[in-house]
Amino acid sequence: MAAKCDLSLLEGVLDEYADVKGSLITILQKTQEIYSYVPEDAVYLISERTGVSPAKIMGVATFYSQFRFAPAGKYKIQICKGTACYVNGSERIIDVLTEELGIQSNETTEDGLFSFTVVSCLGCCSLAPAMMINDKAYGNLTGDKIRQIIRGLRKEAEAQ
């Protein structure tokens, strides 16, 4: 079982939304903002406070791809697979990223530095193929450029 998280961080959210009909998605979003994912023990607390069963909470949470159930990496990578990116080689970029990080989409590296997801569109079509790392966009990607970016971020993290 995963380590326990500090559920007191969730109290303010639950005080504000637990009794508001139709607020489950908002509660889940705010939970993920606090912890960077939706911890299992938070699901049980949400259930207690809202009266919604853990099964229903998980049913809602797993329906939406925005929710994660494991901590995200320090560097959250989103790879675009929209039409412009796809025709400009996003599949190859995904392959190189998978090889460089040693993980698949929706996973996090063992060192906790990187996680990546494939998204439908980033809205950076003129930069295709493109990706976002946290809040920074990277475009006109090649395999070499991906490797250089990832290795640079690793060095930066090691220096901290």
pLDDT at res. 106: 86
Give dist(CA 42, CA 28) in Å, integer. Answer: 9
Q: pLDDT tier at 4 (50, 70, 90 boundaries)? A: confident
Enumerate the CATH 1.10.10 domain ranges in the chain, comma separated: 7-63
Rounded CA-CA distance 20/14 in Å is: 10
- Average pLDDT along the chain: 93
pLDDT digits (tens, 9 = 90+) for 110-137: 999 999 999 999 999 999 999 999 999 9
* pLDDT > 80? residue 5: yes
Cα–Cα distance between 65 and 51 in angstroms, integer?
Answer: 24
Q: What's the pLDDT score for residue 3?
A: 55
Q: What is the arithmetic mean of pLDDT over 83-103?
A: 96
Segments of the chain assigned to CATH 3.40.30.10: 75-159
In the three-class reduction of DSSP (H, G, I as helix; E, B as strand; rest coil), residue 133 is classed as: strand
CATH classification of 7-63, choosing from 3.40.50, 3.30.450, 1.10.10, 1.20.120? 1.10.10
pTM for the full predicted model:
0.71
Distance CA 37, CA 20 (A): 22
pLDDT recorded at residue 1: 40
Q: In CATH, what class is 75-159?
A: alpha beta
